[in-house]
Structure 1
Amino acid sequence: MINLIEKLQSGDRLEASECFKLYDLDLFTLGKFANLKRQKLHGKKAFFNLNRHINPTNICADVCKFCAFSSHRKNPNPYIMSHDEIMQIVEKSVENGAKEIHIVSAHNPNTSWQWYLEIFKKIKEIYPNLHVKALTAAEVDFLSRHHGLSYDEVIDKMIEYGVDSMPGGGAEIFDEDIRAKICKGKVGSKNWLEIHKKWHERGRLSNATMLFGHIEEPKHRIDHMLRIRDLQDMTNGFNAFIPLVYQKDNNFIKVSKFMGSVEILKTMAISRLVLDNVPHIKAYWATSTINLAMVAQEFGADDLDGTIQKESIQSAAGAKSASGMDMRNFIDLIRSSGLTPVERDSMYNEIKVY
């Protein structure tokens, strides 16, 4: 353990074997070194953006046990939006200041690939400067399988139709034994990484996520982070890593003991220490709560995501994020925490420092 502390003090890259020992350290030791690395990269800046999440359908061919969003017997309210309905939301969102539209859907077997993709072209025709973040690797995999398209064909169509960057959803936990229990039939870990690799090879950026706090163990989280680190060494295409806190309501995973704030903050800090090549660690307030996301800014995280305006996926499972967050609240919370609020665009270019 002394050698691990010395390695953290030096700031050198941790070997895989050393990464697996990080959870043995106490929270404040991890927080100390994660915060030093965070400050070296970003100083006291805490980033956020003005965005709007849109989820055009909850009808899904997959049955992930952790999901409370898709229509099933615990959520018997299936829906699908028309393109006109989506465009009305986009118009209102732009009027409210959104600079990014984040579009993620369930895997609807009753729609065409054109329904998924043509909405992006419609958005870009009217709002060419609006950033479109859309289609997780899980959606790319679904469109490929369901419509007989290769990954390359789906990705090329995404770019042709106006997608600017990819969100990190669908990663869950990469360990295939865990995936078989919580999201069997969904894109596998190797294909998730392959899809993002192909996206990066086209000069495009994406995010990466990790869903934790369900039936996985700390070793599975470390394995997940190391696979992200390995791909980032190859492509340098990940903007941010987002540890997503599992939400326990309205789903089919039996978790006897829900993790507390210490475990969440340790995972945030470890993410910063392991992922030395990913620029940003996002404490996604929609899953962690805004208060814990603010604390996480001193445990390695430097980003809070955005105003969201409306959030459907996490709130369906119990998160208090359905109505988004006001920009003024973001600024006041960041300032009162002794940090500098920085509004960013989707590529982390600074728009305004408050």
Structure 2
Amino acid sequence: MQDLIEKVESGNRLEQEEGERLYELDLLTLGRLASTIREGRYGRKSYFNVNRHINPTNVCKDVCKFCAYSASRKNPNPYTMSHEEILSIAAEARRRGAKEVHIVSAHNPEAGLDWYLGAFRRIKDAYPDLHVKALTAAEVNFLAESNGLSYREMIDLMIESGVDSMPGGGAEIFDEEVRDYICKGKVSSEQWLEIHRLWHARGRQSNATMLFGHVESRAHRIDHMLRLRRLQDETGGFNAFIPLVYQRQNNFLKVENFPTAQEILKTYAIARILLDNIPHLKAYWVTSTVGLALLAQEFGADDLDGTIERESIQSAAGAASANGMALEEFVSLIRNAGFIPVERDSLYNELHVYEG
């Protein structure tokens, strides 16, 4: 394995087979390799933002096996917020200091295009300085198809309605056999990539995710990362990669072998090594737990997402994120882990460095 270690240390790119071999390295060696890359870029800084997640509807035409959020026999409580309710949440979040609203919903066939886009317009009209991160590629695909629009037309409407950046959801695992099993009928891998390609062509930035720890193989994870790396070579539009740890409660996907903490940390480290062209690696504390997300900062991650305030999608499947986290607690946890807390905006401009 020494040849592999030397190749990483020299900064040479790894491909599929070599990426899979990285999992054979011991955890501390992987951590050292990834941490060297991370600290070379950001030192001991750990980034977060003050944000508010808003999930305006759980009514969905799709039935993804891993999802515990959408209204189904596992979750028989459908809801759809009014624009007034959404605007009220955004107003309260801004009052509390939020710089971003992160708006992700289910694929509601009854709500209509103006319900989705109108919410963004209302927020932007009221609070022009509030960053609107909204609509996953899966939502874009759903809205385009159900309204007879091309992806370009849909993206133009998003921009006109005040969407500033796109979240990375809906990527799941790009392998189509896996997608056919866990989220049949949802946006395809090529469609997901094309939507982000077009978004980047408009000069806009987005995140990219990968849902892991369910029925996928390690090879599937490496393939997923390398597809993102190829698109990033082309567009340069991804600002962060977010490996999402599968949450196993209240859904239809029966997973017996949940990944260990070691497997999760190895995946973070490998992502940092492989994705040399995506600036930031986010350990999203909502899916990994706060403790593991902080530990992941020693394994290549440099971001923890944000304070969130309230979150419905992951918490429906068991994540301890329903009520977010206070800013002071967030800063204290990062400091106690031996890192420098840095509040950022949605595009990773530094707003405040908590020294000392």
TM over 0.5: yes
Question: Aligned-pair distance for 1:188?
Answer: 0.1
The match for 2:173 is 173
The match for 1:126 is 126
The whole-number CA distance in structure 2 between the counterparts of 1:19 and 1:214 is 19
The whole-number CA distance in structure 1 between the counterparts of 2:91 and 2:131 is 13
Question: Aligned-pair distance for 1:9?
Answer: 1.8
Query: Which deviates more from structure 2 when the two are superposed, residues 143-152 or residues 4-13?
Result: 4-13
The whole-number CA distance in structure 1 between the counterparts of 2:307 and 2:111 is 30
- Whether 1:270 and 2:270 are equivalent positions in the alignment is yes
The whole-number CA distance in structure 2 between the counterparts of 1:343 and 1:111 is 35
- Whether 1:305 and 2:305 are equivalent positions in the alignment is yes
* Superposition pairs of residues 143-292 of structure 1, within 5 angstroms: 143-292=143-292
- Whether 1:22 and 2:10 are equivalent positions in the alignment is no
The whole-number CA distance in structure 1 between the counterparts of 2:77 and 2:121 is 28
Runs (4+) of structure 1 moved beyond 3 Å? Answer: none
Which string of whole-angstrom CA distances, capped at 9 and with x for unpartnered residues, describes residues 101-132 of structure 1? 00000000001111110111111111001000
The match for 2:343 is 343
Question: Aligned-pair distance for 1:87?
Answer: 0.6
Identity %: 66
The match for 2:352 is 352
The whole-number CA distance in structure 1 between the counterparts of 2:9 and 2:57 is 48
The match for 2:64 is 64
Question: Aligned-pair distance for 1:346?
Answer: 0.1
Distance 1:224 1:74, change over 3 A: same
Whether the aligned pair in 1 keeps the contact of 2:53 and 2:103 (CA below 8 Å) is yes
Question: Aligned-pair distance for 1:260?
Answer: 1.3
The whole-number CA distance in structure 2 between the counterparts of 1:77 and 1:338 is 42
The match for 1:117 is 117
Question: Aligned-pair distance for 1:171?
Answer: 0.1
Q: Which amino acid aligns with 2:223?
A: D
Q: Which amino acid aligns with 2:20?
A: F
Q: Which amino acid aligns with 1:260?
A: T
* Superposition pairs of residues 68-107 of structure 1, within 5 angstroms: 68-107=68-107
Whether the aligned pair in 1 keeps the contact of 2:15 and 2:226 (CA below 8 Å) is no
The match for 1:10 is 10
The whole-number CA distance in structure 2 between the counterparts of 1:30 and 1:11 is 14
The whole-number CA distance in structure 1 between the counterparts of 2:101 and 2:232 is 25
The whole-number CA distance in structure 2 between the counterparts of 1:121 and 1:353 is 32
Whether the aligned pair in 1 keeps the contact of 2:16 and 2:219 (CA below 8 Å) is no
State TM-score, norm by structure 1. Answer: 0.99
The whole-number CA distance in structure 2 between the counterparts of 1:9 and 1:87 is 49
Equivalent residue of 1:91, what SS? helix
Query: Which deviates more from structure 2 when the two are superposed, residues 15-24 or residues 147-156?
Result: 15-24
Question: Aligned-pair distance for 1:12?
Answer: 2.1
The match for 2:327 is 327
Equivalent residue of 1:163, what SS? coil
The whole-number CA distance in structure 2 between the counterparts of 1:141 and 1:41 is 35
Equivalent residue of 2:68, what SS? coil
The whole-number CA distance in structure 1 between the counterparts of 2:63 and 2:149 is 22
Which string of whole-angstrom CA distances, capped at 9 and with x for unpartnered residues, describes residues 74-114 of structure 1? 10000000000101111111111110000000000001111
Question: Aligned-pair distance for 1:26?
Answer: 1.3
Q: Which amino acid aligns with 1:306?
A: G
State TM-score, norm by structure 2. Answer: 0.99
Equivalent residue of 1:209, what SS? strand
The whole-number CA distance in structure 2 between the counterparts of 1:9 and 1:206 is 29
Pairs aligned (count): 354
Which string of whole-angstrom CA distances, capped at 9 and with x for unpartnered residues, describes residues 20-43 of structure 1? 211111111110000000001111
In the alignment, structure 1 segments of 5+ residues that lack a partner are none
The whole-number CA distance in structure 2 between the counterparts of 1:111 and 1:316 is 22
Question: Aligned-pair distance for 1:17?
Answer: 2.9
The whole-number CA distance in structure 1 between the counterparts of 2:2 and 2:335 is 36
Q: Which amino acid aligns with 2:309?
A: Q
Q: Which amino acid aligns with 1:73?
A: R
CA RMSD of aligned residues (A): 0.7
The whole-number CA distance in structure 2 between the counterparts of 1:263 and 1:18 is 17
The whole-number CA distance in structure 2 between the counterparts of 1:233 and 1:42 is 21
Equivalent residue of 2:35, what SS? helix
Q: Which amino acid aligns with 1:211?
A: L
